[in-house]
Structure 1
Amino acid sequence: MTSKRIGILTEFNYEDLELWYPYYRLREEGYETFTIGPEKDKTYNSKHGYPCKAEEGIDNVNHKNMYESGKVVASICHGAWMFCSAKILKGKRITCFVAIKDDVENAGALYEDSPVVVDGNMITSRLPKDLPEFCKAIISKLKE
């Protein structure tokens, strides 16, 4: 069993597969996964009504400088918006849902239309159909 803890963000209207697939796949690998929401113990419903109770609140987790400290950060679909807000995309190769392509490029990223893109400790994917490649890349990077 590994000592690495992996937080997965949740919020109202999350995409079911994009949360639960990595959550359980990473648990299968022995990582401690937990959900992080705006508020601890609050339940957030997915697009399809599936509930996810936030095991931690965002203000209660040590999330500052994760990228800069070399920890693996990953996003799928619209999750790249978080990287835009964190201002960590300048010069990075990434992928995302095509509808936010302009946003990530305006934040300085180099967009690639690929199932998964790994650039250093940043891993990105486009859509739920890319989840197998996305999770394989995350697990590979975590084992380095």
Structure 2
Amino acid sequence: MAKVAFLLAGGFEDSEMKNPYEAIKEAGHETTIIGLEKGAECKGKKGTVSYTAELASSEAKASDFDAVVIPGGSAPEALRVNDDVVRFVKELNEQGKLISGICHGPQVMISADILKGKAATCYIGIRDDVKLAGADYKDEEVVVSENLVTSRTPNDEPAFIREILAKLA
């Protein structure tokens, strides 16, 4: 079974964390919530779910994980300015491990500079940023490009989860 990290900060899109997290756990994979500080409470922007960071980004080692999921909402904005988060995602990419992001999640991929030459999708509001980062932007429910899986909105969660689970299998 795979070890899957979830990058989280307050203000994430509730369902974009809850649904992939539960599906990945249900499939038997091990999950770890990585936040800016260990023990920090991360509340969803709609207030329906809340999670506690089990590991600080400063302690996260790419070699300990097989994949990362980056939910959207406003959390990626807080995550992308953290050097440890960016390092972690860069290292996962260098190791060819699965990096998945939905909605605003690809903002972290932009800061980690891992989109060049890959296809990706995202929330329409950051489409230009994804293109400027070197990605071939696609307006599709899910885009799989090498080790990346990206989706646009909560409506795309079933396809997003399906492709993550397929990659982890």
TM above 0.5, one fold? yes
Letter in 1 for 2:117: G
Q: TM-score, normalised by structure 1?
A: 0.94
Higher share of residues assigned helix: 2
What percent identity do the matched residue pairs reach?
A: 40
Distance 1:54 1:30 in 2: 20
How far 1:12 sits from its partner (Å)?
Answer: 1.2
CA contact (8 A) 1:7 1:34 kept: yes
In the TM superposition, residue 98 of structure 1 has moved relative to its aligned partner by 0.4
2 CA distance for matches of 1:59 and 1:129?
32
Aligned residues: 141
Structure-to-structure mapping, 1:58-97, within 5 angstroms: 58-63=57-62, 64=88, 65-97=91-123
Name 1:36's counterpart in structure 2: 34
User: d(CA) in 2 for partners of 1:6 and 1:124?
Assistant: 16
> Is residue 2:44 matched to residue 1:18?
no
Q: Give the alignment partner of residue 158 of structure 2, picking from 105, 118, 132.
A: 132
TM-score by length of 2: 0.81
Once residues 44 and 167 of structure 2 are traced to their aligned partners in structure 1, the CA distance between those partners, rounded to angstroms, is 28
Task: Name the structure 2 match of 1:52.
Answer: 51
* Paired letter, 1:95: T
Deviation at 1:74, TM superposition (A): 0.3
Does the 8 A contact of 1:23 with 1:34 survive in 2? Answer: no
Deviation at 1:39, TM superposition (A): 0.5
SS across alignment from 2:34: strand
Deviations 1:69-103 (CA, angstroms, capped at 9, x unpaired): 11111000001011100111111100000000000
Instruction: Extract unaligned runs of 5+ from structure 1.
Output: none
Q: In structure 1, what is the Cα distance between the partners aligned to 2:10 and 2:138?
A: 28
Segment drifting more, 22-31 vs 63-72 = 63-72
Q: CA deviation at 1:104?
A: 0.6
